[in-house]
Chains A and B, each alone.
Chain A
Amino acid sequence: MNRQAQAVILLLLGGAVIRASITDLYLRYVKEGLRPFLIAAGLLLVVAAIMTLWYELRPSAARTTVPATPVPGTPDPAGGVGAAHGHTHHEPRVGWLLILPVLGLLLVAPPALGSYAVSQAGSTVSAPRESDYPPLPEGDPVQVSVLDYAARALFDRGTSIGDRRVRLTGFIATGPDGEPILARMVLSCCAADGRPVKLGLTGDVPAGLPDDSWVEVVGRYTDRLGRDPVNDAEIPYLDVESWREVPVPKQQYD
C-alpha cells in the first residue's frame, strides 16, 4: 500500500468517523460523551490525509524550493531533500485492514445491540451507592428508565416505587422461558461492554411483536422475581397495564 493509498484510507476513515458523529449513527456504538473527541479525531485524520497528499503530489516543488505555503506546526519549513519515492515495500500492508471499519461505518452501519445480545449475556444491575433511593419524580404515569426500575425493584424491593404507575421504554426480547421480556442495553464505554437489563412482564403482556420491537409500557411494581439462567441473577417483574409500539429512540442504550 503506497502513501497515496494510505492517504485515501485515512481520508475515508476520517470522513466515516465525522459522518457517524455528526449524524446519530455513533450512538449505536459508543456513549454520547465521546462525540467531540470523535469529531476532533476525524478532522485530524482528514488533515493527515491532505498533508500526505500535499507532500506526495508536489515532491519536486518540495525538493527544489522552499514550500510557498507554511505548514501549520512547522517551525522550520526548510525545503530539504524529499524522501525517495516508490519504496512501497516499507509501507505497512496491514493498513489495508482499515478499509473494514470504513466499510462498517459507511456501507453496513450495523444496528445497535439488540435481542441477540440480550439472550447471550446475563442481566446486570449494579448495587446502589446509597442504600436509599430518592423518591420518583412527579407525574402519573412517571417516566423511569428500565435500569432505574430494575435497581429500585431489586435493591429497594419496590419501596420507593410504591403503587405509582411507571412508564418504561425498551425493546422486546425472548426471555428464558420463551415469554417476551422488556430489555435495554447499558453501555459504560462502547458496545463491546454492553450489558442487558431484563424485566419480566406480567399482566397485559405485549403479544405478537417480533424481537427488537420498541415498546412503551405503563404498569406497576410487582414483587414477583425471576432468575436469569445465564448468570443466575434476579430479574424483576413489571405488572403491565397498557403498552404501545414506539419508534426506535435516538439513544438506544441506557
Chain B
Amino acid sequence: MGLAAPPAPEPTGTGGSRRWLGDRIGSVEVLAALLILLIIFRDPLAGMLDDPRLQTWTTVFVSIMVQAVPFLVFGVLLSAVIAVFVPRSFWARALPRHPALAVPAASAAGVVLPGCECGSVPIAGSLIRRGVTPAAALAFLLAAPAVNPIVLTATAVAFPGNPELVLARGVASLVVAMVMGWLWLRLGRTEWIRMPRRPELEDASRGRAFWGAVRHDVTHAGGFLVLGAMAAASINVLVPERWLQRLADNAWLSILALALLAVLLSLCSEADAFVAASLSQFSLTSRLVFLVVGPMVDLKLIAMQAGVFGRRFALRFAPTTFAVAVLVAVAAGAVLL
C-alpha cells in the first residue's frame, strides 16, 4: 500500500500548477517527472517491499491487474464498437420493444458472450448510451459474467462431484439478473444514472470517435479496476483464513460470511469456482451464494460501476443486487442442492 501514495496527490498538483504557470505544466510533464522520480528511487521503493505481507500484497495486486487486462481491453473494444459503429436502430430491432420482455432477452444474450465482469461494465454503459433501456442493459451487466459457457465449465471442473451446482449457479444467476432488471423497471429512476458526458463519441470521424472511446474507457474503467484490485489485495492479505473456520459451523452465518467474502475478494468469475471448491468446510448452499454474489457485486465492480454510471447509482444498485442475489441463491440451494 506504500505504492498508493505517490500518484494520488498528483491530480490536484496538476490543477494547481496549471493555475500558477499557465499552460506550461500539463499532465504529460507531471507524468514524465513522476516516472523519472520513480526510476531514481527504484531501489528504496523495492526495499520498502521487503516485508512479506507487503510483498504478497503487491503480488496479488499485480496478478489481479494482469489477469483483468485482457478482459478489460476486449470488453472496452466491444463497447467502443457498440458505441460508435452499431447504429441505434439495431437495438430497437434486436431487443423486444416492451422493456419487460427486453430484460430476459438481454439476460439470455449474456449467456453467449464469454467475458469477465471487468469487461461487461463498459459494455453495459455503451448499451445505455445507445438507447437500450437501462433495465435490459443492467440485466445484461449482471448475467454476462455469471452464466457464460466458460464460467459454467470452470464450475463443473471445480465441482466434479456436484453437477447440480452448475445448474443451480446458472439458474440462480439468470433469475437474479432478470429480477434486478424488472426491479429497475418498477423502482429505478433514470436520474440515478449519471453517465459522464462523452463529447468524443459524437465526433464526425468514426476512427477518431472509436479510438477516443477506447482510450477513455481503458483509462477510466481501468483506473477504477486499480482501486478495486487494491481493495481486493488488501482483503486477501489482511483477512486470515482462520477467521472463516469459526463461521463455517453455523448455517446462516456461513451463508452471510461467504456472501461478504465474495464481495471483498473480487475474484474473476472464471476463477471463483475453484476458490469456492477449496472452501470445503462450508456448506454447498453457502458456496452457491458465494458463486452467485461474486460476479454481480464485488469491490472492483462497485468501483467500476460508480465510475461508469455514477455514485448515486452504485450506492443503490450494489446493495440491492447483493440482497436479491443472496435470497435467490439460498432459495435455489434449497430446491436444487
Residues of A within 8 A of B (CB): 1-10, 13, 17, 20, 26, 28-30, 34, 37-38, 40-42, 44-45, 48-49, 51-52, 55, 62, 67, 71, 73-84, 86-88, 90-101, 103-105, 107-108, 110-117, 120-122, 124, 126-129, 188-193, 195, 229-233
**Which partner residue on chain A sits nearest B116 by CB separation?**
A189
Partner of B267, one of A77, A99, A116, A192: A192
User: Contact at A94–B227, with CB atoms within 8 Å?
Assistant: yes
A98 smallest CB distance to B (angstroms)? 5
Interface check B117, CB cutoff 8 A: no
A80 smallest CB distance to B (angstroms)? 3
Contact A192/B219 with A76-B206, A100-B4 known, Cβ cut-off 8 Å: no
User: Contact at B223–A110, with CB atoms within 8 Å?
Assistant: no
A143 smallest CB distance to B (angstroms)? 24
A-B residue pairs in contact (CB < 8 Å), sample of 13:
A6-B215, A6-B216, A10-B218, A44-B73, A45-B73, A80-B204, A101-B61, A111-B59, A124-B280, A190-B268, A192-B63, A192-B236, A193-B272
**Which partner residue on chain B sits nearest A130 by CB separation?**
B160
Q: Using a CB-CB cutoff of 8 Å, which residues 226-264 of chain B contact chain A?
A: 226-227, 229-230, 232-233, 236-237, 240-242, 244-245
Interface check B220, CB cutoff 8 A: yes
User: Contact at B70–A193, with CB atoms within 8 Å?
Assistant: no
Partner of B281, one of A82, A91, A110, A232: A232
A186 smallest CB distance to B (angstroms)? 9
Q: Which chain A positions have C-beta within 8 A of B11?
A: 1, 93, 96
Q: Which chain A positions have C-beta within 8 A of B216?
A: 6, 91-92
Q: Which chain A positions have C-beta within 8 A of B214?
A: 44, 48, 51
Partner of A126, one of B4, B49, B278: B278
User: Contact at B223–A108, with CB atoms within 8 Å?
Assistant: no
User: Contact at A34–B70, with CB atoms within 8 Å?
Assistant: yes
Contact A191/B63 with A3-B215, A48-B214, A74-B205 known, Cβ cut-off 8 Å: yes
Interface check B17, CB cutoff 8 A: no
B209 smallest CB distance to A (angstroms)? 9
Complex Cα gap A28–B204 (Å): 44
Complex Cα gap A127–B280 (Å): 10
Q: Which of B37-45, B92-100, B129-137, B185-193 makes up part of the contact surface?
A: B37-45
Interface check B265, CB cutoff 8 A: yes
Which applies to chain B's interface (DSSP): helix, strand, loop or mixed? Answer: helix
User: Contact at A55–B42, with CB atoms within 8 Å?
Assistant: no
**Which partner residue on chain B sits nearest A117 by CB separation?**
B56
B126 smallest CB distance to A (angstroms)? 16
Using A1-B219, A55-B207, A80-B208 as known contacts, list a sample of 16 further A-B pairs with CB atoms less than 8 Å apart, ordered by residue number in A.
A3-B215, A41-B73, A75-B206, A83-B212, A92-B216, A92-B219, A100-B7, A105-B66, A113-B56, A116-B55, A122-B241, A189-B267, A190-B67, A192-B64, A192-B232, A192-B268
User: Contact at B241–A112, with CB atoms within 8 Å?
Assistant: no
Residues of B within 8 A of A (CB): 3-4, 6-8, 10-11, 14, 23, 26-28, 30-31, 34-35, 38-39, 42, 45-46, 49, 52-53, 55-56, 58-67, 69-70, 72-74, 77, 154, 158, 160-161, 196-197, 199-200, 203-208, 210-212, 214-216, 218-220, 222-224, 226-227, 229-230, 232-233, 236-237, 240-242, 244-245, 265, 267-268, 270-275, 277-278, 280-281, 307
User: Contact at A2–B205, with CB atoms within 8 Å?
Assistant: no
Complex Cα gap A42–B158 (Å): 30
Complex Cα gap A82–B206 (Å): 11
Contact A1/B27 with A48-B211, A108-B45 known, Cβ cut-off 8 Å: yes
User: Contact at B278–A95, with CB atoms within 8 Å?
Assistant: no
Q: Which chain B positions have C-beta within 8 A of A103?
A: 3, 38
User: Contact at A13–B69, with CB atoms within 8 Å?
Assistant: yes
User: Contact at A74–B70, with CB atoms within 8 Å?
Assistant: no
**Which partner residue on chain A sits nearest B244 by CB separation?**
A231
Partner of B58, one of A49, A52, A110, A126: A110
Complex Cα gap A128–B160 (Å): 8
B159 smallest CB distance to A (angstroms)? 9
User: Contact at B199–A90, with CB atoms within 8 Å?
Assistant: yes
Interface centre among A92, A188, A193, A231 (most CB of B within 10 A): A193
User: Contact at B28–A101, with CB atoms within 8 Å?
Assistant: no
User: Contact at B204–A78, with CB atoms within 8 Å?
Assistant: yes
User: Contact at B63–A190, with CB atoms within 8 Å?
Assistant: yes
User: Contact at B59–A231, with CB atoms within 8 Å?
Assistant: no
Contact A9/B233 with A1-B11, A48-B214, A126-B158 known, Cβ cut-off 8 Å: no
Complex Cα gap A13–B214 (Å): 14
User: Contact at B28–A5, with CB atoms within 8 Å?
Assistant: yes
Complex Cα gap A41–B64 (Å): 15
Q: Which chain A positions have C-beta within 8 A of B59?
A: 28-29, 110-113, 191
User: Contact at B49–A110, with CB atoms within 8 Å?
Assistant: yes
User: Contact at A230–B274, with CB atoms within 8 Å?
Assistant: no
Complex Cα gap A13–B221 (Å): 14
Q: Which chain B positions have C-beta within 8 A of A230?
A: 240-242, 245
